[in-house]
Amino acid sequence: MTTQSPANESRAAQSPAATAPGRSRRGLNFTLISAALFMFFVTWSLSWSLFSIWLTQDIGLSAGRSSLVVSANAIGCLVTMPVYGFIQDRLGLRKNLLYWVGGLMLLVGPMYIYVYGPLLKTHFAIGLIVGSAYLAMAFAVAVATLESYAERLGRFHGFEFGRARMFGSLGWAAATFFAGRLFNIDSDLNFWAASVAAAVFLVLLVAIRVTNGRRAAAVDHAASSVSVADVKSLLAYPAFWGLLLFVVAVTATYNTYDAMFPSYFASLFSTTADGNRMYSDLNSVQVFLEAGGMALAPFLVNRLGPKRSLLVSGFIMATRICLSGLVTDPVAISAVKLLHAVELPIMLIAIFKYINRHFEPRLSSSIYLVGFQLATQVGAAVISPLAGIGYDSIGYAHTYLIMSGFVAAFTLISVRTLRTDGKGLPEAVAPVVTTEPAPEPAKV
């Protein structure tokens, strides 16, 4: 048996015959992860885009009680997010956790129809607990886990995460277009369709393969070194606390506003059916625009830098909330809704680039799920009940004006508390060095 010298092995690895399969797999994995994001968001949109309308019109809850449901869902995320983030960081590019998520997604139809809905009607407290646990593990936390995996896969193969995430927005838009119409016929149709979409998601997930042995081994080696102490050490970094402040005060307040916005929007029309259908159509337009924003946002964020991009997204959030409290005409409020298509792509792309610039990339899942998604849910758990009191006592419009001022104030504070992009990693954070070579740009 003969062996090759290291030089010969290196030349063989660089030959067209050796690199062609790698390029082919990169392109295929980009297609598969994009399609998986598409189907995940189809499933999530069918079961969630009209959630507040489902609570108030189908289940019969008041705005205040619906806010308690949103708050309970946020608390469920608090428990799940650190666990999911740590597990995914330990898994690296392996998909074990995503398979678990896919299995839960398959159950979305039976869960809403036979368990969650009936419990909210007859045993409200039990319904809060069961629903918050399921929705956190299957969707609210799972989406962050899938996005984190897609971003990690993009760094491995050399493609922009935003280009793949764009298909998630397209999936949400495509599903939302039909969600309002199906809801007006029978809300159960949305949930059964969601289970079918979940089955397609699982098939796509299984097809993703990472075949570059040496590079994949380097990623897995770095992932296996992640420990609980690494995650706890984040609490010692001022940069982490600066990120938390922005997320809790700005993003969480905005998400609380956005969760109940469909009910307020539908109330501005002559009939709830007209409001539901109009919101469904408008949401589809907004998310199609958002998909285009996902493709363009990397160029803007790379030009402005992650910190400035986060601040821009914060001021857009404050503007949308403020205008929602000032205008009542259905056409004007529809235009306000479309601002979400500008804010979300900038914020989502900027948050990943901020994390990778100021923290260790091997901890990206933990930081994204804890420092961004979990912090958002912590804020929502506190803010949602307060917002619910405001909705019931002074109305949606006046509550929105208060929330807008809060978001604008803390965006200004974040000018000082977010870490300047030029500083890179905090001095106390030493990046882990591996033998992993730099990825070649993928042709997508």
d(CA 116, CA 109): 10
Q: DSSP of 144-208, one letter per residue?
A: HHHHHHHHHHHHHHT--HHHHHHHHHHHHHHHHHHHHHHHHH-HHHHHHHHHHHHHHHHHHHHH-
Give the tens place of pLDDT for each residue, 255-291. 888 877 887 887 787 777 777 778 777 877 887 888 8
How buried is 163 (Cβ within 10 angstroms: 0-12 exposed, 13-18 middle, 19+ buried)? middle
pLDDT for 430? 45
Structure tokens at 39: 């189907």
d(CA 131, CA 137): 10
Chain-wide mean pLDDT for the chain? 81
pLDDT for 307? 92
**Residues near 372 by beta carbon (within 8 Å), at least 6 away in sequence:** 144, 243, 247, 251, 351, 355
Collect the ranges in the chain with pLDDT lower than 70. Answer: 1-23, 212-228, 230-231, 362, 423-444
d(CA 341, CA 43): 20
Q: Is residue 124 within a helix (H) or strand (E), and if so which, with residue range?
A: helix 124-135
pLDDT for 212? 62
pLDDT for 214? 61
Closest CA to 350 of 421, 292, 285, 406: 421
pLDDT for 86? 84
Contact assessment for residue 168 and residue 283, using Cβ atoms and an 8 Å cutoff: no
Helix axes 272-304, 252-267, angle to 10 degrees: 150
pLDDT for 315? 94
Closest CA to 176 of 43, 305, 87, 83: 43
pLDDT for 219? 55
